[in-house]
Chain A
Amino acid sequence: MLALVARRLLTAIPTLLGIILVSFVLMKLAPGGPFDGERPLAPETRAALQSAYGLDRPIWEQAWIYVSRLVQGDFGPSLVYRDFTVTELVAQGLPVSLTLGGLAVILAMLVGVSLGLLAAIRAGQATDKAIMMLATVATALPTFVTGPALALFLGLWLGLLLVSGRGDGVAWLIMPVTALALPVAGAIAKLTRAGLASVLKQDHIRTARARGLPESRILLRHGLRPSLVPVASYLGPAAAGLLTGAVVVETVFGLPGLGRYFVQGALNRDYPLVLGVVTIYAALIILFNLFADLIYGWLDPRMRES
């Protein structure tokens, strides 16, 4: 177990490095630069700026400097938000994004698994069909539709919640978290139902039934855990996706999360900002996949062997 974690963390280093280098090169290949504004800068000013940020050096040297600074925990300066370092921007945005993403994952799990469970128990009945139809709709609706729709109903028409920004308390979280969680909850409900339906046909369920256990105990103790294996394999990448998916939601609800910096950084060719955000996303994705693998081992001990 510990060996697995250690090994996976070690292999994460070259993976991260690869991702950083590829994004670095791709970004430089894109036309335009951080100092292209509406008014062209005087050539001298431009050259001075370029050399101040080291952009006049060969690309491999720039990459090397970036990586060696990164190792020391320095994401470099932002080229567009001139008064801030990337580390500061990330420190501002990351907590917002993590709160949104984390709550969305929890909400999606709770809603998805319980609805999936309910549908599996009532397999073939009206409840099952209704839940599965809802789940399909939830998965199909993109967040840029559900987000504004929520804002319209709850914010504008009913006047219950703030349409944009944070305000006081935690009420501001309700709409963005719901919008984020909806499609994931739909997918989880479908996976749980399908997983449970196949697990309930297995021999060990008959053994549990032969013991005369109550149906609820058979479901929760003998059936649920193995049926969550597909959910775990979906949730690893999906959890990371919730943080990236937050770009749309953060924009719709005007929240200062990481996603917004990512989009603005990319549009402005703010190289260090984009790279910083990419690095963090990549690290999170690797971390979530590792979590998913550890959860497999808990869900089904047979998977610990390989």
Chain B
Amino acid sequence: MSLYEIRDLGIMIGDNRLVEGVDLDVRAGECTAIIGASGSGKSLTCLTPFGLTPGRFSGQVLLDGRDLANAAAAQLREARSQLAGFVFQQPLTALTPHLTVGAQLHEATTQAGGPRPSRSELARQLERVGLSRADERLDQFPHRLSGGERQRVMIAAAIAHDPKLLIADEPTSALDATLRREIMNLLDRLRAEQGLGLLLVSHDLAAVADHANQLVVMDKGRVVERGPAASLIAEPQEDVTRELIAAIPDLNEPPPRLPPVGDRQLVAEALTVSFPRPGWRRGTIQALVDADFEVGEGEALAIVGGSGSGKSTLGRAIAGIGPVTAGTIRWKGEELPERRGRSQRMRKLVQPVFQDPVASLDPQWTVADIIAEPLGFLRPDMLPEERIEKIRDLLGKVGLSEDQAERFPASLSGGQAQRVAIARALAADPDMLVLDEATSALDPLIGSGILQLLGELRDSNRLSILFITHDIAAARRLCHRVIVLDEGWIVECGDMETVITDPQSAVTRKLVAAS
């Protein structure tokens, strides 16, 4: 018998039927995973039966013998507090900002009416999810923790009251590869030891294949395919599933064909960036130390590393939007100073694209205004008709239709917004793009579309690309070479295929193993 059983689930928000006819089972001690494109109804399916979305649902939902479909609000609340635990997707905002980690963990532990935990018990819960200096962290507020650390607190809180069912919506997307594995192993252990049932939403196919028993593939609010996880991923029957699996970067896929690299364009020598320590303490933090590298014309160079490895700092230094403490950056032999010293001509050489596409576009501006802004500054001589023509041309290049020019960022999807951000970067006619986690916030289907677009730009415009990411499999689809960063140092640098097949450093081995 199943621990959690959903039959013929339908979900309405307002008058829109968003999920229909979903059947789902989670057995005690097992893991059922849901995959699907964004908007396929995965999160709604997980959360609506517990009253955690504005949606209304119909159908049959049984959790440990209790009927959630006909439960009153108080019974539903009891089911949440005693039987289920939840991990949400956004680790940065999911914790209450004004309560300490310890207070929130305390609340989570006692939510099912358990005894008051001692301080050392709370600390042990944090250690269980791999947080060091656990005792100290109990007194910290969430904003002092990194995204990965907060997500681990979330996970610790979700399992603190020993729930029977854990519902985890992309619990590990915000974590780097090593941690992802540790968390999945911890959840495996809880399943084996305590009979915890796990309902997992994930884009991490490798993890799903390794850890999930059952896999459900959703598309447009319906289940399109289901079956044992490993065999379904190996041999998908439906087109939707095949597309989805093909979109998710995987190191086992054949290497892409990349065109040859042209002349050397960008050379960085002994690039060093340090920041003063925050607060009263003296000294500096070395974010990037003595980085030497070069990028050729039409070449894509991947910068990979865990969080805090200095990869964004490197990208910002090259794009001229971050500080440089020492070292030189040359473009075709000519030295590029820091941003203020860069001439107009130098500024247009390198253009950045950021991680969160919607947040990096001004919500008050239309798409056309956003794309045209660099033109106004860098090409003041352009006539209005020429500018309109240019905007149309850029929209076409990034695969958007012309009628999107007058829309506002809020009405764009994540993928469309990222395309606008790329069009804005291209408007300056740059020779190089710096992309900082440009596909990480997007779902795999959309992310792989962006990767494809970047590949086309690299080839047709002979653009150089600096692709910053923690996902080495995604980088492999685009990049000729790779630099691996760890705590500000370049620990490995070389041809992408060589590095993947024969990693030299421990950090790289971990990154490769986790992809």
Residues on A lying within 8 angstroms of B by beta carbon are 202-204, 206-214, 221-222, 225-226, 298-302, 305
A-B contact count (CB 8 A): 69
Which residues of the other chain, A, contact B143 by a CB distance below 8 angstroms? 301-302, 305
Contact of A203 among B80, B94, B112, B141 (CB under 8 A): B94
A209 to chain B, nearest CB (A): 6
Which residues of the other chain, B, contact A301 by a CB distance below 8 angstroms? 97-98, 141, 143
Tell which of B81-89, B220-228, B507-515 binds the partner.
Answer: B81-89
Interface string of B444-457 (1 = CB under 8 A from A): 00000000000000
Q: Is B78 an interface residue (CB 8 A)?
A: yes
Which residues of the other chain, B, contact A211 by a CB distance below 8 angstroms? 80-81, 107-108, 111, 157
Interchain residue pairs with CB less than 8 A apart (26):
A203-B90, A204-B95, A206-B52, A206-B94, A207-B86, A207-B94, A207-B154, A210-B80, A210-B84, A210-B86, A211-B80, A211-B111, A212-B77, A212-B79, A212-B80, A212-B82, A212-B111, A212-B112, A213-B107, A213-B111, A214-B77, A221-B96, A222-B96, A225-B98, A226-B98, A302-B141
> Chain B contact residues (Cβ within 8 angstroms of A): what range?
20 to 34
> How far, in angstroms, from A99 to B362 measured CA to CA in the complex?
48
> How far, in angstroms, from A222 to B104 measured CA to CA in the complex?
10
Question: Which of A202, A203, A209, A299 is packed against the most chain B CB atoms within 10 Å?
Answer: A203
Question: Which of A204, A208, A298 is packed against the most chain B CB atoms within 10 Å?
Answer: A204
> How far, in angstroms, from A41 to B315 measured CA to CA in the complex?
80
Which residues of the other chain, A, contact B99 by a CB distance below 8 angstroms? 221-222
Chain B, residue nearest A207 (CB) = B94
Q: Is B498 an interface residue (CB 8 A)?
A: no
> How far, in angstroms, from A268 to B157 measured CA to CA in the complex?
68
Given contacts A204-B93, A221-B96, A222-B99, list 4 more A-B pairs with CB under 8 A: A211-B157, A212-B77, A226-B97, A298-B98
Which residues of the other chain, B, contact A203 by a CB distance below 8 angstroms? 88, 90, 93-94
Task: Enumerate B360-412 residues with CB–CB distance to A below 8 Å.
Answer: none
Q: Is B50 an interface residue (CB 8 A)?
A: yes
Which residues of the other chain, A, contact B94 by a CB distance below 8 angstroms? 203-204, 206-207
The answer to whether A302 and B86 have CB atoms under 8 Å apart is: no
> How far, in angstroms, from A209 to B47 measured CA to CA in the complex?
11
Chain B, residue nearest A212 (CB) = B81
The answer to whether B52 and A210 have CB atoms under 8 Å apart is: yes
> How far, in angstroms, from A91 to B50 measured CA to CA in the complex?
62
A259 to chain B, nearest CB (A): 37
Which residues of the other chain, A, contact B85 by a CB distance below 8 angstroms? 210
B225 to chain A, nearest CB (A): 29
> How far, in angstroms, from A214 to B81 measured CA to CA in the complex?
10
Contact of A209 among B78, B79, B80, B97 (CB under 8 A): B80
Task: Enumerate B155-213 residues with CB–CB distance to A below 8 Å.
Answer: 157
> How far, in angstroms, from A113 to B514 measured CA to CA in the complex?
51
The answer to whether A206 and B88 have CB atoms under 8 Å apart is: yes
Interface string of B36-76 (1 = CB under 8 A from A): 00000000000000111000000000000000000000000
A229 to chain B, nearest CB (A): 10
The answer to whether A208 and B96 have CB atoms under 8 Å apart is: yes
The answer to whether B80 and A207 have CB atoms under 8 Å apart is: no
Residues on B lying within 8 angstroms of A by beta carbon are 50-52, 77-82, 84-86, 88, 90, 93-99, 107-108, 111-112, 141, 143, 154, 157
> How far, in angstroms, from A298 to B99 measured CA to CA in the complex?
10
Contact of A213 among B52, B81, B93 (CB under 8 A): B81
Question: Which of A211, A213, A226, A301 is packed against the most chain B CB atoms within 10 Å?
Answer: A211
Chain B, residue nearest A297 (CB) = B98
Which residues of the other chain, A, contact B90 by a CB distance below 8 angstroms? 203
A158 to chain B, nearest CB (A): 45
Which residues of the other chain, B, contact A226 by a CB distance below 8 angstroms? 97-98
> How far, in angstroms, from A226 to B98 measured CA to CA in the complex?
7
> How far, in angstroms, from A224 to B425 measured CA to CA in the complex?
42
The answer to whether A209 and B52 have CB atoms under 8 Å apart is: yes
A191 to chain B, nearest CB (A): 18
> How far, in angstroms, from A302 to B97 measured CA to CA in the complex?
7
Which residues of the other chain, A, contact B96 by a CB distance below 8 angstroms? 204, 207-208, 221-222
Which residues of the other chain, A, contact B51 by a CB distance below 8 angstroms? 209
B275 to chain A, nearest CB (A): 15
> How far, in angstroms, from A255 to B7 measured CA to CA in the complex?
73
> How far, in angstroms, from A204 to B141 measured CA to CA in the complex?
13
Which residues of the other chain, A, contact B111 by a CB distance below 8 angstroms? 211-213
Which residues of the other chain, A, contact B93 by a CB distance below 8 angstroms? 202-204
Chain A, residue nearest B108 (CB) = A211
Which residues of the other chain, A, contact B112 by a CB distance below 8 angstroms? 212
Chain A, residue nearest B53 (CB) = A206
> How far, in angstroms, from A77 to B84 measured CA to CA in the complex?
74
Which residues of the other chain, B, contact A299 by a CB distance below 8 angstroms? 98
> How far, in angstroms, from A217 to B93 measured CA to CA in the complex?
19
- 7 shortest A-B CB distances, which residue pairs? A212-B81, A212-B80, A210-B86, A203-B93, A301-B141, A204-B96, A302-B143
Question: Which of A203, A207, A301 is packed against the most chain B CB atoms within 10 Å?
Answer: A207
A96 to chain B, nearest CB (A): 37
Chain B, residue nearest A205 (CB) = B96
Which residues of the other chain, B, contact A210 by a CB distance below 8 angstroms? 50, 52, 80, 84-86, 88
A206 to chain B, nearest CB (A): 6
> How far, in angstroms, from A226 to B141 measured CA to CA in the complex?
14
Which residues of the other chain, B, contact A209 by a CB distance below 8 angstroms? 51-52, 80
Chain A, residue nearest B91 (CB) = A203
The answer to whether B86 and A300 have CB atoms under 8 Å apart is: no
Chain A, residue nearest B89 (CB) = A203
Which residues of the other chain, A, contact B154 by a CB distance below 8 angstroms? 207
Which residues of the other chain, A, contact B88 by a CB distance below 8 angstroms? 203, 206-207, 210
> How far, in angstroms, from A222 to B93 measured CA to CA in the complex?
13
> How far, in angstroms, from A222 to B98 measured CA to CA in the complex?
8
Question: Which of B81, B94, B111, B112 is packed against the most chain A CB atoms within 10 Å?
Answer: B94
> How far, in angstroms, from A213 to B141 measured CA to CA in the complex?
21
> How far, in angstroms, from A301 to B112 measured CA to CA in the complex?
28
> How far, in angstroms, from A71 to B358 measured CA to CA in the complex?
56
Chain B, residue nearest A3 (CB) = B280
Which residues of the other chain, B, contact A298 by a CB distance below 8 angstroms? 98
Which residues of the other chain, A, contact B78 by a CB distance below 8 angstroms? 212
> How far, in angstroms, from A193 to B201 measured CA to CA in the complex?
35
> How far, in angstroms, from A202 to B82 measured CA to CA in the complex?
23
> How far, in angstroms, from A154 to B503 measured CA to CA in the complex?
86
Chain B, residue nearest A211 (CB) = B111
> How far, in angstroms, from A207 to B101 measured CA to CA in the complex?
13
A296 to chain B, nearest CB (A): 11
> How far, in angstroms, from A301 to B205 measured CA to CA in the complex?
38
> How far, in angstroms, from A299 to B98 measured CA to CA in the complex?
7
Which residues of the other chain, A, contact B108 by a CB distance below 8 angstroms? 211
The answer to whether B98 and A207 have CB atoms under 8 Å apart is: no
Chain B, residue nearest A298 (CB) = B98
The answer to whether A300 and B97 have CB atoms under 8 Å apart is: yes
B40 to chain A, nearest CB (A): 20
> How far, in angstroms, from A299 to B97 measured CA to CA in the complex?
9
> How far, in angstroms, from A209 to B51 measured CA to CA in the complex?
9
Chain B, residue nearest A218 (CB) = B96
> How far, in angstroms, from A129 to B81 measured CA to CA in the complex?
33
A198 to chain B, nearest CB (A): 13
Which residues of the other chain, B, contact A206 by a CB distance below 8 angstroms? 52, 88, 94
B151 to chain A, nearest CB (A): 12
